[in-house]
């Protein structure tokens, strides 16, 4: 088993900033793959792709906004590498993650003559990556999958680890698989075109990694948050690289989330419930996770496993990042006015849960987390209230 020592060393330097391209390998035996992080990678996508796939055709899945910004660049690179590119646009937003949209992509792939060696390439954020990955995992029982993430959240989280899924009307990511990509190319240059709200939403996942796995990284984020928000290239590259290394370590130890990998869901039990409860209309995913982390940190405090001062430290960092750190008063009124059972049913149906027990990944100190089962409903209820 790989060491779980902190990614940051005492000097705070997780990698050499003289490297133009940062290379991280997710070691999963025959399913292992590289993550490359660096400027200009989208323009070089074709060259990287020819090293991992012998296919002559490729399905490029994106959405209208990302295609307008980067589609031509990627299509040109793939064509120059000798690939026939079939581009398919998915709708914007969470509604794209559906079996109906996946079926349209299957039709596009089949009509274009894609075979088992033809890669499916995701160019976009987490929604595009989840959808394209699900199609890659299930088309002809599995074809090569490549991630070209264009949001901070996708670069640090959803593009790494092999979770692919579409939604069911009754729950998020209910229909899916563990299916690892063959390659991830994360180009920090694309983050300069993100709207501020999207950048902040991605920061929630970055902050999560410090809380659950690396106190040194959390301290670095406290000291360098303004540089990330200002999109300074070195700070962005460092945040992406350290986040990916932490996730790679956890995934290597528990690829299919039987045990340790569940710590990556800190903030997500409450976060996913909030998203579903509000019809996926109020929050970006990272915003819901931010509220979830604040609430779940208070649950950990109430259980006596996490210091209150550390929970306050987390909430302060979330607030500095421009992220929500409390359940809105309007939602609290909904819970008080008869919708509490609905919300708590969503919590019990979280994918970590066993036998309908309330299950949470909670911090036990800044830099470490564990999974707790049978959390009392009374503690959850009180933790939903603002401090």
- Say whether both 270 and 154 belong to one domain: no
The answer on pLDDT for 225 being more than 50 is yes
- pTM to 2 decimals? 0.90
- Say whether both 241 and 140 belong to one domain: no
Catalytic-labelled residue, pool 20, 141, 309, 354: 141
3-state secondary structure of 162: coil
Which residue from 110, 157, 156, 154 is spatially nearest to 128, judged by alpha carbons?
Answer: 154
Q: Is residue 221 a part of any domain in this protein? A: yes
Average pLDDT value for residue range 237-249? 95
- Say whether both 183 and 201 belong to one domain: no
The residue count of the chain comes to 387
Q: Is residue 16 a part of any domain in this protein? A: no
Average pLDDT value for residue range 293-321? 98
Domain count of the fold of the chain: 2
Q: Is residue 8 a part of any domain in this protein? A: no
Backbone angles phi, psi at 108, to 5 degrees: -65, -45
- Say whether both 81 and 219 belong to one domain: no
Q: Is residue 143 a part of any domain in this protein? A: yes
Do 218 and 368 meet the contact criterion of CB atoms below 8 Å apart?
Answer: no
Is-catalytic flag, 247? Answer: yes
Q: How confident is the model at residue 354 (pLDDT cuts 50, 70, 90)?
A: low
pLDDT at 185: 97
The answer on pLDDT for 14 being more than 60 is no
Is-catalytic flag, 285? Answer: yes
pLDDT at 377: 94
Q: How confident is the model at residue 362 (pLDDT cuts 50, 70, 90)?
A: very high
Catalytic-labelled residue, pool 67, 265, 287, 315: 265
Is-catalytic flag, 170? Answer: no
Is-catalytic flag, 67? Answer: no
Lowest-pLDDT range of 50-59, 132-141, 233-242, 279-288: 50-59
Is-catalytic flag, 168? Answer: no
Q: Is residue 3 a part of any domain in this protein? A: no
Side-chain half-sphere CA neighbours of 159 within 13 A: 34
pLDDT tens figures, 266-284: 999 999 999 989 988 899 9
- Say whether both 202 and 326 belong to one domain: yes
Residues 6+ apart with CB under 8 A from 61: 88, 90, 105, 120, 121, 122, 123, 124, 128, 131, 132, 135
The CATH number of whichever domain residue 285 belongs to comes to: 1.20.1090.10
The answer on pLDDT for 179 being more than 80 is yes
- Say whether both 288 and 346 belong to one domain: yes
Catalytic-labelled residue, pool 272, 284, 298, 351: 272
Q: Is residue 7 a part of any domain in this protein? A: no
Structure token pair of residue 80 = 């120059």
- Say whether both 188 and 230 belong to one domain: no
- Say whether both 185 and 202 belong to one domain: no
pLDDT at 18: 43
CA–CA gap between residue 369 and residue 362 (Å, rounded)? 5
- Say whether both 171 and 210 belong to one domain: no
Domain boundary among 131, 166, 193: 193
The answer on pLDDT for 355 being more than 90 is no
What is the extent of the structural domain holding 218? 197-383
Is-catalytic flag, 205? Answer: yes
- 12 or 134, higher pLDDT: 134
The answer on pLDDT for 240 being more than 70 is yes
Catalytic-labelled residue, pool 205, 252, 296, 310: 205
Is-catalytic flag, 268? Answer: yes
Catalytic-labelled residue, pool 285, 296, 298, 310: 285
Residues 6+ apart with CB under 8 A from 228: 203, 206, 221, 235, 236, 239
pLDDT tens figures, 139-177: 999 999 999 999 999 999 999 999 999 988 777 788 999
- Say whether both 175 and 244 belong to one domain: no
pLDDT at 98: 95
Strand extents, DSSP E, the chain: 21-26, 33-38, 57-62, 84-89, 120-124, 145-149, 163-168, 171-178, 183-186, 359-365, 368-373
Catalytic-labelled residue, pool 67, 182, 208, 261: 261
Is-catalytic flag, 261? Answer: yes
- Say whether both 245 and 183 belong to one domain: no
Percentage of the chain beyond pLDDT 90 is: 81
Chain-wide mean pLDDT for the chain?
A: 91
pLDDT at 101: 97
Catalytic-labelled residue, pool 97, 163, 208, 284: 163
pLDDT at 351: 67
Q: Is residue 10 a part of any domain in this protein? A: no
- Say whether both 205 and 77 belong to one domain: no
Domain boundary among 164, 193, 222: 193
Domain boundary among 193, 223, 244: 193
Average pLDDT value for residue range 216-234? 97
Q: Is residue 9 a part of any domain in this protein? A: no
The CATH number of whichever domain residue 34 belongs to comes to: 3.40.50.1970
Side-chain half-sphere CA neighbours of 273 within 13 A: 33
* Bridge pairing between strands 359-365 and 368-373: antiparallel
């Amino acid at each position: 088993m790989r060491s779980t020592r902190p990614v940051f060393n005492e000097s705070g330097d997780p990698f050499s900033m003289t490297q133009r391209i940062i290379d991280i390998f997710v070691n999963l035996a025959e399913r292992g793959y590289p993550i490359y992080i660096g400027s200009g990678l989208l323009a070089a996508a074709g060259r990287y792709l020819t090293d991992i796939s012998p296919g002559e055709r490729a399905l490029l899945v994106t959405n209208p906004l990302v295609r307008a910004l980067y589609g031509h660049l990627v299509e040109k690179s793939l064509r120059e590498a000798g690939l026939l590119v079939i581009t398919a646009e998915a709708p914007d937003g969470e509604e794209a993650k559906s079996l109906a949209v996946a079926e349209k992509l299957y039709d596009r792939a089949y009509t274009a003559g894609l075979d088992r060696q033809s890669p499916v390439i995701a160019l976009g954020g987490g929604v595009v990556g989840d959808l394209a990955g699900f199609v890659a995992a299930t088309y002809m029982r599995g074809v090569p999958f490549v991630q070209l993430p264009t949001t901070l959240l996708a670069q640090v989280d959803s593009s790494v680890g092999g979770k692919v899924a579409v939604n069911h009307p009754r729950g998020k990511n209910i229909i899916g698989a563990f299916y690892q990509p063959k390659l991830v190319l994360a180009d920090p240059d694309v983050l300069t075109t993100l709207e501020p709200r999207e950048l902040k939403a991605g920061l929630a996942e970055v902050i999560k990694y410090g809380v659950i796995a690396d106190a040194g990284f959390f301290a670095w984020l406290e000291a360098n948050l303004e540089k990330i928000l200002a999109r300074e290239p070195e700070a962005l590259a460092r945040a992406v690289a350290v986040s990916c290394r932490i996730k790679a370590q956890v995934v290597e130890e528990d690829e299919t989330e039987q045990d340790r990998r569940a710590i990556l869901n800190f903030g997500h039990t409450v976060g996913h419930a909030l998203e579903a409860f509000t019809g996926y209309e109020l929050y970006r995913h990272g915003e819901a996770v931010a509220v979830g982390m604040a609430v779940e940190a208070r649950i950990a405090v109430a259980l006596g496993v996490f210091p209150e001062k550390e929970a306050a430290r987390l909430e302060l960092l979330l607030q500095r990042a421009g992220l929500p750190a409390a359940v809105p008063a309007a939602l609290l009124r909904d819970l008080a006015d008869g919708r509490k059972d609905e919300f708590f049913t969503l919590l019990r149906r979280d994918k970590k849960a066993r036998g309908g027990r309330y299950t949470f990944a909670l911090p036990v100190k800044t830099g470490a987390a564990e999974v707790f089962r049978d959390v009392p409903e009374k503690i959850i209820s009180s933790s939903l209230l603002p401090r």
